[in-house]
Amino acid sequence: MKTKSPALSGKLTDTELRTLRIFMAVVHYSGFTPAALELNVSRSAVSIAMADLEKRLSLRLCERGRAGFSLTTEGREVYRSTRQLFSALDQFRIQINAIHFNLKGELNIGITDNLVTMPQMRITSALRELNRLGPDVQINIQMIPPNEIISGVLDGQLHTGVIPVQKHYEGLEYLLLYEERSSLYCGQEHELFCRHDSELSPSMLKQYNGVLPAYDQTSEIKALHHELQLSASATDREGVAFLILTGRYIGYLPDHYAHRWVKEGVMRAILPANMSYLTPFATITKKGAPSNLVLENYLEQLKLASTTAGG
């Protein structure tokens, strides 16, 4: 005895799903014409879709004629199964959306020191929104040097980090956040504090004690530092600030970091038009890292913050 091949032996296509939705509308509105009006399509489009569906299923689904519209026995079975199909699809959509709106897990971030005083609070804004989207997400921040951040991201100990961009590493993805401007500063007790910039020139600064940062810098930034008489060093910006505030040294600090002392009148920039430089800062992630919904949402919020801030 010859057996019939299954009417649906392959996967459902988008076209077939659209046709099934038309069938649902035809049943719900009890006819082709009211369904066409509701769907904002022609009656002939509904008729063609129904004919195609019946052909695809090898079943007669409905009777239409003078007696009006009615489902066949097979049509009622198909309608019940179609409702179950779309109910399952709706439930799938709800569950996926729930994952996005109920984020859980950890976000491990490494950040270079003294970025919190940046006027563009993009990291803060992104973390705020991440907490709003996923109150159960645990955020772990480590304030560590850039080289440790790079190592942590590459070996998977950190999900992401924020570093000054000195060079690009092949295994990392970069998202530029902002450029940080640094200027040469002296303290209130320094003899340059009361001298007007018009009385000074870059070459005159070689006679004053300067601070050399003991952390990675580009060759251009190193060249600026070597225009000073380097007689002290510091492993971080706070150390540079300590030495400047003694009134015995001059050194470079980010303008946003020095702002509080400038406002208090205990520090000032020297020849800012000549003695300054820009450092780009970027968020880094590991190329090809496993998908992480918490990280993806955080990065998306960073991009939105950058767009809102015009950069």
Rounded to whole angstroms, the Cα distance separating 250 from 184 reads: 7
Residue 182: the pLDDT is: 94
User: Per the structure block, which two tokens stand in for 159?
Assistant: 């999900």
Higher pLDDT, 105 or 215: 105
Residue 5: the pLDDT is: 55
Answer positive or negative: Cα dihedral of 94, 99, 103, 104: positive
Are the C-beta atoms of residues 125 and 301 closer than 8 Å to each other? yes
Mean pLDDT of all residues belonging to the chain: 86
CA distances from 304 to 35, 177, 311 (A): 42, 11, 10
Is pLDDT at 281 greater than 80 in this prediction?
Answer: yes
Are the C-beta atoms of residues 142 and 110 closer than 8 Å to each other? yes
| Closest among 248, 261, 257 to 191, alpha carbons compared | 248
pLDDT digits 0-9 by tens, 245-268: 999 999 999 999 999 999 999 999
How would residue 88 be classed by pLDDT, with cut points 50, 70 and 90?
A: confident
pLDDT digits 0-9 by tens, 111-132: 987 777 666 778 888 999 999 8
User: Per the structure block, which two tokens stand in for 38?
Assistant: 């509701």
CB count within 10 Å of CB 166 equals 17
Mean pLDDT, residues 180-196 = 94
Q: 3-7, 111-115, 185-189, 296-300: lowest mean pLDDT where?
A: 3-7
Is pLDDT at 311 greater than 60 in this prediction?
Answer: no
Quote the pTM value: 0.62
Which domains, ranges and CATH numbers included, belong to the chain? 14-101 (1.10.10.10), 106-311 (3.40.190.290)
Hey, what amino acid is at 257?
Y
Residue 310: the pLDDT is: 45
How would residue 144 be classed by pLDDT, with cut points 50, 70 and 90?
A: confident
How would residue 67 be classed by pLDDT, with cut points 50, 70 and 90?
A: low
Mean pLDDT, residues 165-180 = 89
Are the C-beta atoms of residues 281 and 163 closer than 8 Å to each other? yes
Is pLDDT at 13 greater than 90 in this prediction?
Answer: no
